[in-house]
Amino acid sequence: MIEAVAPPTDPPGNVDERDTLSSFLDFFRTVLIRKGQGMDAIQLATPLAPSTLTVGRLIRHMTFVEDHWFSECVAGTPLEPWASAPWEQDPDWEITTADGSTFDELRTGFEAACARSRAVVESLASLDHVGVGMPPDRLESLRWVLVHMIEEYARHCGHADLIAESIDGRVGD
């Protein structure tokens, strides 16, 4: 069993742009993973109707999103299992394959993806860096990716909050 997830730390208020963006992103990473803490595989796969989203599916989706944006788009390094996933047969493959996973399995994959993402961010000298894996019609900077990821986490943490509350009454974070 993996140790409990500590509550998120408020982002510092007086740091440079890179630390501000990274701190907000880490805040939401912690919020999302805490939503699944203590849930069994059945609870992790329980949706809030009419949606098919579950806390487990959201964690798995954000594991993919971390690797997609930071490893693939920014660093130009496609990773498995995403690179060979059967996207043509199941466009939501990263979501549907979460069902039946335990919290520890989901958390381990998620935290590994977040660590890879942090390493990519730390390796780049400037937030103006344009990802080497970006399609030619989408030349977003590292700054844009960080802001986009904060937005994506904020939205999905709200989804996870509603789902978790419907399962066990937990709110907050």
3-state DSSP call for residue 141?
A: strand
Tokens 């993402």 belong to: 117
Q: pLDDT band for position 8 (50/70/90)?
A: confident
* Res. 160: pLDDT tops 70: yes
3-state DSSP call for residue 28?
A: helix
CATH numbers and ranges of domains, the chain: 17-168 (1.20.120.450)
Q: What pLDDT is stored for residue 122 in this prediction?
A: 97
Which tens digit of pLDDT belongs to each residue from 104-148?
A: 999 999 999 999 999 999 999 999 999 888 777 887 899 999 999
Give the mean pLDDT of 23-38: 94
* Res. 1: pLDDT tops 70: no
Q: What pLDDT is stored for residue 133 in this prediction?
A: 85
Question: Whole-number mean pLDDT of the chain?
Answer: 92
> Which contacts (CB < 8 Å, 24+ apart) does range 23-30 have?
24/150, 25/146, 25/149, 25/150, 25/153, 28/150, 28/153, 28/154, 28/157, 29/62, 29/110, 29/114, 29/153, 30/5, 30/6, 30/173
**Total-model pTM:** 0.90
Q: What pLDDT is stored for residue 170 in this prediction?
A: 79
Q: What pLDDT is stored for residue 168 in this prediction?
A: 83
Which tens digit of pLDDT belongs to each residue from 50-103?
A: 899 999 999 999 999 999 999 999 999 999 999 999 999 999 999 999 999 999
> Is the Cα dihedral 123, 125, 128, 130 positive or negative?
negative
Give the mean pLDDT of 35-53: 92
Q: How far apart are CA 47 and CA 162, in angstroms?
A: 10
Q: How far apart are CA 57 and CA 92, in angstroms?
A: 10
Q: How far apart are CA 65 and CA 135, in angstroms?
A: 16
